[in-house]
Structure 1
């Protein structure tokens, strides 16, 4: 009976040592895999960050070009609109001035010019009267 118990696998010292060594190797392989995964994760993360920065730089350039393009277009439209508005304003002023002239209403500049001429004539008249009065007294 003792021979039968010696032949059982759980009683075999070599088999037990092999199982123990296999378990240790599996454990060490697991530790190595964990360590490798941790290292690879760090490098992988760094690589992802670098790629993200590259993509950001590329897209930033594209976006900046698009923004400049839109700004240029807006400036062109603004200039055209301003030019058109100035032309319309000028045409409106001319038409209003023409209508007022036809109605006999003079522009402010014309009235101011006439007032200046009247003042100049009054001054000249006073000066001439002053000379004339001095001649009459002699």
Structure 2
């Protein structure tokens, strides 16, 4: 029963970190789309407007990078603090044996998922990255 609680804590930590990174991806994507929209508008309204947008974009880019960096640093710090505290508590409660048990359970889970044809998290992340690249290249081809 204690093992189940530990696994739930680990899963909730992973889910929290995933939510933060997903949120950051969405915000970055919105900034990118806004930039593309601004670029399209410039083509219609002239070079002067373009220069104005470039200046505003530079300021917003700096602010956005700072904000994203702060959010990532904050989320990373919180996750690391949680992991360190959790690991310390678990290690002291189990005498350091939990890591071996977790590794064994993870290997078994990965093997089981592989047997039934469910891709692993890393495989899904690789596929997602490839789709992002393909999407970017298709958008580049449409703009060009």
Larger Rg: 1
TM-score by length of 1: 0.35
More RCO (CA 8 Å, sep 6+): 2
TM-score scaled by length of structure 2: 0.34
